[in-house]
């Protein structure tokens, strides 16, 4: 009998546990139960080549749905579930009992201490917890013990590492897709790439109710390194995984020949991080400390749409008002010409040259040190650059650290600059391709 959301009735205790958590609690503990269809389609992929009576471990089991799904398919499997949350363990006990199954459920931290292989398959959906949501002592302990935890990466990176350690066979984990490309996850990418990756399968956008990218990582012999999509009807392979420039693109990633990278030529800096738009951004008459400004949504290719907003540029006031602000320096913005890049345009880069001495907000990047901002504008708007960037970094948020890796063309950029001044997209594409020699 089916319950709510088309899920089995025996999952009702898990749904009750989920609904008992506030949005803040779920965010702090990274508790996002996997939709039942994702569990089922994932098991279609990963339950292959296991020994008789296999030991199955979910190290962050939540309401136990992954274990229940396995137990219904492999009745003689030994099911083990761990979770830090005693209420999750209680929900899992009810779910497993409702499914007519038995499991060894323990309230424990899977990341504590050392690990040795204990299961034939380790699987599940590890918690998505940002480092700032962890107690300081926990954060410092985890970041000191797990090499894959670097910079601002999510705690699930440590779970992937621990799942690899705990398994003497396959590993299957539902994860966010940010680790495929973000610089913070380079150590995790290296760790995963050293394993026999059987496949990485993207899940449909909105699978977890938000417009975030998620995927199924499957580590198993023979390590085919396949990529594709996992839908309600099954796998849709699209190609072979390749590591490109330190990232794992899920589409074919074109190469661009070059001499060094963009970051060797110039830097892209985030706009003004004022801390409070309400306090420092306004419309109406211009005040004595006001400067023209723009937001990322107003930056189009070749132009910046006008607005009636001003930025009250008072760095000392900004810095004293609240933490995590970065007003930068006037010299970065108050120049005759500079490049402005939209910061949330996704795989379609949008760049324009600002000649109005704007002080862009933090939804933009500006160029520092560019010898010819028109050539730079043309390169970033060009088809070759967008194909290179979009394949490697398919996220809504553009990152300067990513664009700094763009290969710098070996050819002459004069034609690129001329086409950019004329807002000639076709001319820019052709001139950029020639500059890269492709």
> Cis peptide before 222, with omega less than 30 degrees from 0?
yes
pLDDT at site 251: 85
- 423 and 331 inside one domain: yes
Give domain status of residue 266, yes or no: yes
Give domain status of residue 246, yes or no: no
pLDDT at site 4: 53
- Between helices 86-98 and 12-20, what is the axis angle to 10°? 160
- 351 and 212 inside one domain: no
- 109 and 168 inside one domain: yes
Q: CA–CA separation, 386 vs 301, rounded Å?
A: 12
- 230 and 98 inside one domain: yes
- 228 and 298 inside one domain: no
CB 353 within 8 A of CB 374: yes
Give domain status of residue 43, yes or no: yes
326, two tokens: 């970065």
Q: CA–CA separation, 419 vs 352, rounded Å?
A: 13
Give domain status of residue 252, yes or no: no
> What is the domain range of residue 377?
262-436
Give domain status of residue 122, yes or no: yes
pLDDT at site 5: 63
Nearest to 364 by CA among 379, 373, 354, 355: 354
pLDDT at site 393: 87
The pLDDT tens digits along the chain (438 residues) read 444 567 899 999 989 988 888 777 777 777 789 999 999 999 999 999 999 999 999 999 999 999 999 999 999 999 999 999 999 999 999 999 999 999 999 999 999 988 889 999 999 999 988 888 888 899 999 999 999 999 889 999 999 999 999 999 999 999 999 899 888 999 999 999 999 999 999 999 889 877 788 999 999 999 999 999 999 999 999 999 999 888 898 888 889 999 999 999 999 999 999 989 999 999 999 999 999 999 999 999 999 999 999 999 999 999 987 667 899 999 999 999 999 999 987 678 999 999 999 999 999 999 999 889 999 999 999 999 999 998 888 877 899 999 999 999 999 999 999 999 999 999 999 999 999 998
- CA distances (Å), 349 to each of 49, 255, 269, 360, in order? 44, 18, 15, 17
Q: Which residue stretches of 154-282 are H helix?
A: 156-166, 186-193, 262-265, 277-280
237, two tokens: 């392979």
- 320 and 228 inside one domain: no
pLDDT at site 370: 86
- 278 and 202 inside one domain: no
Please say whether the dihedral angle defined by the alpha carbons of residues 437, 242, 151 and 215, taken in this order, is positive or negative.
Answer: positive
- 330 and 184 inside one domain: no
Give domain status of residue 254, yes or no: no
- 193 and 339 inside one domain: no
pLDDT at site 380: 97
- 46 and 190 inside one domain: yes
Give domain status of residue 405, yes or no: yes
Q: Give φ, ψ of 259 to 5 degrees.
A: -115, 100
- Between helices 383-392 and 425-436, what is the axis angle to 10°? 70
Rounded to the nearest 5 degrees, what angle is found at the Cα of 97, between the Cα atoms of 93 and 100? 150
393, two tokens: 């970094």
For position 180, which CATH number holds?
A: 3.40.50.150
- Please say which residue of 185, 210, 240 terminates a domain: 240
Q: Could you tell me whether strands 281-283 and 309-312 are parallel, antiparallel, or unpaired per DSSP bridges?
A: antiparallel
Nearest to 238 by CA among 272, 195, 199: 199
Q: Could you tell me whether strands 290-292 and 309-312 are parallel, antiparallel, or unpaired per DSSP bridges?
A: antiparallel
For position 430, which CATH number holds?
A: 3.90.220.10
Nearest to 419 by CA among 377, 367, 361: 377
Domain count of the fold of the chain: 2
pLDDT at site 1: 41
Give domain status of residue 253, yes or no: no
- 399 and 335 inside one domain: yes
Q: Which residue stretches of 194-321 are H helix?
A: 262-265, 277-280, 315-321
Decide: pTM greater than 0.85: no
Look up tokens 């664009």; give the residue: 403
- 222 and 293 inside one domain: no
């Amino acid at each position: 009998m089916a319950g709510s959301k088309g899920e089995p009735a025996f999952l009702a205790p898990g749904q009750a546990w989920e609904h008992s958590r506030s949005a803040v609690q779920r965010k702090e503990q990274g508790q996002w139960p996997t939709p039942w269809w994702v569990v089922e389609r994932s098991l279609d992929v990963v339950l292959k080549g296991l020994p008789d009576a296999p030991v199955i471990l979910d190290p962050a089991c939540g309401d136990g749905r992954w274990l229940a799904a396995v137990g219904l398919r492999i009745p003689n499997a030994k099911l083990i579930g761990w979770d830090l949350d005693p209420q999750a363990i209680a929900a899992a006990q009810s779910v497993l009992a409702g499914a007519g199954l038995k499991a060894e459920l323990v309230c424990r931290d899977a990341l504590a201490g050392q690990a040795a292989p204990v299961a034939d398959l380790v699987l599940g959906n590890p918690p998505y917890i940002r480092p700032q949501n962890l107690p300081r002592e926990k954060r410092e302990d985890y970041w000191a013990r797990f090499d894959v935890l670097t910079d601002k990466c999510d705690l699930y990176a440590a779970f992937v590492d621990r799942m690899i350690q705990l398994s003497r066979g396959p590993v299957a984990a539902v994860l966010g897709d940010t680790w495929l490309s973000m610089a913070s996850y380079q150590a995790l990418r290296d760790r995963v790439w050293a394993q026999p990756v059987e496949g990485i399968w993207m899940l449909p956008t909105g699978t977890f109710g938000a417009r975030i990218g998620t995927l199924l990582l499957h580590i198993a012999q023979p390590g085919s390194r396949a990529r594709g999509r996992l839908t309600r009807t099954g796998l849709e392979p699209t190609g072979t995984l390749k590591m490109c420039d330190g990232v794992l693109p899920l589409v074919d990633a074109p190469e661009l020949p070059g001499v060094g990278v963009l970051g060797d030529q110039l830097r892209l800096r985030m706009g003004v991080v004022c801390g409070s738009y309400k306090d420092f951004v306004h419309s109406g008459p211009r005040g004595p400390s006001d400067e023209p400004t723009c937001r990322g949504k107003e930056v189009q290719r070749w132009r910046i749409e006008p607005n009636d907003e001003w930025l009250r540029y008072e760095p000392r006031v900004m810095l004293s008002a609240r933490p995590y602000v970065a007003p930068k320096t006037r010299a970065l913005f108050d120049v005759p010409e500079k490049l402005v890049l939209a910061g949330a345009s996704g795989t379609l880069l949008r760049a324009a040259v600002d000649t109005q001495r704007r002080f862009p907000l933090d939804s933009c990047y500006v160029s520092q040190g560019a010898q010819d901002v028109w050539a730079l504008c043309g390169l970033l708007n060009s088809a070759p650059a967008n194909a290179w960037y979009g394949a490697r970094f398919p996220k809504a948020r553009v990152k300067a650290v990513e664009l700094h890796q763009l290969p710098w063309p070996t050819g002459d950029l004069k034609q690129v600059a001329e086409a950019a001044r004329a807002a000639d997209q076709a001319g820019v594409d052709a001139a950029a391709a020639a500059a890269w020699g492709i």
